């Protein structure tokens, strides 16, 4: 730290070369300070500083801290003249960084705007403006909805908007109003309501085309195909063969009928959800809620396609407001999820300081999980395992579909969000991790556990069916058959969840930026030490080597399996470890 005389004599801001083309500043050696800040009454006005990159605010705090330490160490506050000189020099240095930061922020802003505009033009997103528009849901009748392929009910994105929630909705979403209540019930760190100008909510109602005429045509085509088979093989003269062909034909026809009926059910569910949203909007007329509807071509819909279309619309609307200065984040969640009440305030605060390209938050499940799994032990196990999977995802820089935020220019740079029908969140995470670091956001959304419940029952019932089939072959009595929740069945399913949802995901998600995250140490065990003192390139090479070499990969994964402990669950049994290690070759 400079003494009092040196501090006063050494006037002027630090020398620095500014590269306008790159938008970077190259600081002279020694221009680094300890963290912290000075007393509020001696601070400089920050109200007109653009903190788009997060650099300006931190730098000003560092400068203030440096001068405050000098004042305390030299006793300058007892000498008004010295105090004034120090104050003037501090303000001069802050103004230097303010000017630099404003210039840098403008370059960054223009670069990001160009990224978005290029994406819009290359993908012809202006076509989305041709969607039929309604002023409100009152104008939309059930008949119009049934005949619609797409429509929108939206307003211009506000100048101050920083967060745009994106919620795909498919079929009947019984929790949609609870989701909306939570999204619009945002509070700041003091428990005060967040300004509604800072965020908006977009619901993307989506379904796939479904035609009665096409179904009838398909049925006729199948009947003709089998009739030709009957005539060519003279099967009608053989009752047994004829029955086999008839059964096969009916099975094929029924699969198309079931698919058609399911789509009709989802379409009716969409309208039912839309009417519940309509009632909600009547009670919340000031809410910044936008409604979009899209009927995708057969086979091209799904949650990924809905998220991509929604984010495309958000970027298009953002580009149409030329007054905006701050970055906009697309915040993804689901129509059955309760949003953390501080999601918006924490996201904006973190974005201002770190300007991260994306954020991932935590997921917990509602109490319905235990209520809907009749075996209490299995319900508790499934909660612990699935929530632990989200903990791993968060530590690895993952983006859970029901709790994430991505800056719009980043979505543009990655050529839009993944359109996969499942696992789109993992694919988006992989792409973004290649571009930079995904920050952890300290918020937890509460999701409906119906998918976990459904998957659990399906897996256990399949296992029990296999066991019962073997028992039948061994001529065991029916009373010896156990329920799907017998101890052996539970143990096997827990092992499979651990290896597929935890170990496999961890191996897939590790990269040179997250492998040394202290939060992963409890999972990696001794493997963690192999990366501790390596540079990024060395870590990258080491991970590549492990993944390519079967022996190294097995050793790496077995170490994870041997060390795997989940709070609230019994230690992994030797039988579980055997099942998990037996699955390594499939990972």
Q: What is the DSSP string of 529-585?
A: GGTTT--HHHHHHHHHHHHH-HHHHHHHHHHHHHH---TTSPPPPHHHHHHHHHTGG
Q: Which of 349-363, 456-470, 502-516 has the lowest mean pLDDT?
A: 456-470
Alpha carbon of residue 113 to chain centroid: 23
Instruction: Tell me the two tokens of residue 19.
Output: 């590269």
Of 135, 329, 312, 300, nearest to 206 (Cα)?
A: 300
Provide the mean pLDDT of the chain: 85
C-alpha 117/C-alpha 108 separation (Å) is 14
**Secondary structure of residue 513 in the 3-state scheme:** coil
Fold for 130-209+267-360+399-440, please state it: Spore Coat Polysaccharide Biosynthesis Protein SpsA; Chain A (3.90.550)
Say how far apart CA 108 and CA 102 lie, in whole Å: 10
| Intra-chain end-to-end CA distance of the chain, in Å | 54
With a pLDDT cut of 70, the percent of the chain lying above it is: 87
349 by Cβ neighbours in 10 Å (0-12 / 13-18 / 19+) ranks as: middle
Q: Which residues of 221-252 are buried (b: 16+ CB within 10 A; e: fewer)?
A: ebeeebeeebeeeebeeeeeeeeebeeebeeb
Q: What is the pLDDT of residue 96?
A: 83
Residue found by looking up tokens 């963690």 in the block: 528
pLDDT surpasses 80 at 265:
yes
What is the DSSP secondary structure assignment for residue 14, as one 8-state letter? P
Pairing of strands 358-365, 438-447: parallel
Greater pLDDT, 477 or 57: 57
Tell me how many degrees the CA angle 482-483-484 measures, rounded to the nearest 5.
120
Given its phi and psi angles, is residue 155 left (phi above 0), alpha (psi -120 to 50 degrees) or beta?
Answer: beta
For tokens 């990969």, name the residue.
553
Residue 483 reports pLDDT greater than 80: no
Query: How high is the pLDDT of residue 503?
Result: 93
- Tell me the CA distances in angstroms from 236 to 130, 222, 226, 249, one per residue in order: 55, 17, 11, 14
Q: Domain limits of the chain?
A: 4-114, 130-209+267-360+399-440, 212-264, 486-586
**pLDDT of 328 higher than 90:** yes
Q: Is the pLDDT of residue 307 over 90?
A: yes
> Among 537, 530, 493, 163, which Cα is nearest to 326's?
163
pLDDT higher for 129 or 325? 129
HSE (CB half, 13 Å, CA atoms) of 569?
A: 24
R_g of the chain computed on alpha carbons = 30
> CB count, 10 Å around CB of 205?
26
Q: How far apart are CA 578 and CA 532, in angstroms?
A: 29
Residue 120, pLDDT score:
97
| Residue 474: predicted pLDDT | 53
Pull the structure tokens for residue 22. 């790159």
Beta bridge partners of 20: none
Lowest mean pLDDT, pick from 14-28, 84-98, 437-451:
14-28
> Please, which pLDDT band fits residue 35 given cuts at 50, 70 and 90?
very low
d(CA 564, CA 571): 8
User: What Å distances lie between residue 570 and 74, 385, 490, 555, CA to CA?
Assistant: 59, 12, 13, 24
Model pLDDT, residue 86:
82
Secondary structure element (H or E) that encloses residue 312, with its range = helix 303-319
CA 439, CA 351: separation in Å to the nearest integer? Answer: 10
CA angle at residue 492 from 491 to 494, to 5 degrees? 65
Average pLDDT for 500-521: 91
Q: Which residue has the higher pLDDT, 36 or 283?
A: 283
pLDDT, average across residues 253-260: 94
pLDDT bracket for residue 55 (50, 70, 90): low
Q: Among residues 11, 35, 20, 36, which one has the least CA distance to residue 90? A: 11
Tokens of 242: 């004829």
Q: What is the pLDDT of residue 26?
A: 36
The gap from C-alpha 100 to its chain's centroid, in whole angstroms, comes to 34
The number of C-alpha atoms within 13 Å of 145 and in the hemisphere containing its C-beta is 22
Half-sphere exposure of 220 (CA within 13 A, CB side): 6
pLDDT band at 36 (very low <50, low <70, confident <90, very high): very low
Stronger pLDDT, 392 or 46, i.e. the higher one? 392
* 245-254, 261-270, 351-360, 475-484: segment of lowest average pLDDT: 475-484
The model's pTM is 0.81
Cite the beta strand spans of 157-286 per DSSP E. 163-169, 199-208
| Residue 152 scores a pLDDT above 90 | yes
Q: Model confidence over 215-253: pLDDT tens digits? A: 999 999 999 998 888 887 776 677 888 888 889 999 999
Q: What span, in angstroms and rounded, lies between the C-alpha atoms of 21 and 473?
A: 76
């Amino acid at each position: 730290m400079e003494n009092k005389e040196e501090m006063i004599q050494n006037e002027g801001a630090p020398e620095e070369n500014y590269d306008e083309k790159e938008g970077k500043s190259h600081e002279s050696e020694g221009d680094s300070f300890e963290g912290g800040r000075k007393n509020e009454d001696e601070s400089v006005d920050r109200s007109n500083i653009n903190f788009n990159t997060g650099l300006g605010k931190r730098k000003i705090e560092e400068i203030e801290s440096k001068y405050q330490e000098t004042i305390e160490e030299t006793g300058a506050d007892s000498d008004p003249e010295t105090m004034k000189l120090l104050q003037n020099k501090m303000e001069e240095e802050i103004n230097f960084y303010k000017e630099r930061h404003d210039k840098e922020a403008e370059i960054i802003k223009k670069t990001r705007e160009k990224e978005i505009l290029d994406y819009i033009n290359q993908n012809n997103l202006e076509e989305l403006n041709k969607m039929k528009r309604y002023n409100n849901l009152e104008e939309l009748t059930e008949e119009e909805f049934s005949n619609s392929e797409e429509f929108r009910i939206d307003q211009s994105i506000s100048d101050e908007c920083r967060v745009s929630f994106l919620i795909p909705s498919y079929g009947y979403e019984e929790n949609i109003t609870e989701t909306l209540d939570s999204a619009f019930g945002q509070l700041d760190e003091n428990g005060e309501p967040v300004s509604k100008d800072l965020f908006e909510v977009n619901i993307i109602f989506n379904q796939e085309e479904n035609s009665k005429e096409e179904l009838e045509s398909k049925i006729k085509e199948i009947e003709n195909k089998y009739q030709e088979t009957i005539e060519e093989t003279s099967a009608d003269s053989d009752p047994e063969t004829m029955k086999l062909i008839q059964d096969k034909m009916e099975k094929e026809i029924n699969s198309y009928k079931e698919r058609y009926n399911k789509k009709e059910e989802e379409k009716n569910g969409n309208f039912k959800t839309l009417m519940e949203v309509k009632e909600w909007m009547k009670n919340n007329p000031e809410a910044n809620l936008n409604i979009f509807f899209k009927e995708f071509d057969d086979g091209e819909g799904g949650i990924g396609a809905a998220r991509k279309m929604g984010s495309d619309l958000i970027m298009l609307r953002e580009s149409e407001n030329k007054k905006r200065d701050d970055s906009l984040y697309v915040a993804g969640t689901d129509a059955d999820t309760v949003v953390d009440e501080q999601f918006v305030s924490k996201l904006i605060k973190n974005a201002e300081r770190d300007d991260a390209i994306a954020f991932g938050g935590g997921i917990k499940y509602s109490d319905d999980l235990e209520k809907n799994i009749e075996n209490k032990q299995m319900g508790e196990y499934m909660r612990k395992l699935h929530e632990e999977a989200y903990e791993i995802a968060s530590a690895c820089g993952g983006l859970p579909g029901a709790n994430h935020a991505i800056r719009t220019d980043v979505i543009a740079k990655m050529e839009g969000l993944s359109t996969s029908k499942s696992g789109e969140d993992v694919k988006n995470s992989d792409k973004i991790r290649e571009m930079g670091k995904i920050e952890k956001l300290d918020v937890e959304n509460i999701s409906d556990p119906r998918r976990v419940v459904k998957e659990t029952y399906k897996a256990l019932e399949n296992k029990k069916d296999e066991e019962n089939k073997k028992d039948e072959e061994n001529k065991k009595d029916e009373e010896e058959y156990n329920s799907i929740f017998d101890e052996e069945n539970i143990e096997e399913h827990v092992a499979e969840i651990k290896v597929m949802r935890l170990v496999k995901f961890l191996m897939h998600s590790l990269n040179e930026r997250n492998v040394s995250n202290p939060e992963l140490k409890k999972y990696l065990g001794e493997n963690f030490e192999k990366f501790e003192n390596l540079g990024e390139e060395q870590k990258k090479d080491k991970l590549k080597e492990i993944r390519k070499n079967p022996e190294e990969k097995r050793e790496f994964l077995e170490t994870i399996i041997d060390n795997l402990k989940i709070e609230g669950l019994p230690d992994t049994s030797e039988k579980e470890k055997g099942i998990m290690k037996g699955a390594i070759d499939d990972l």
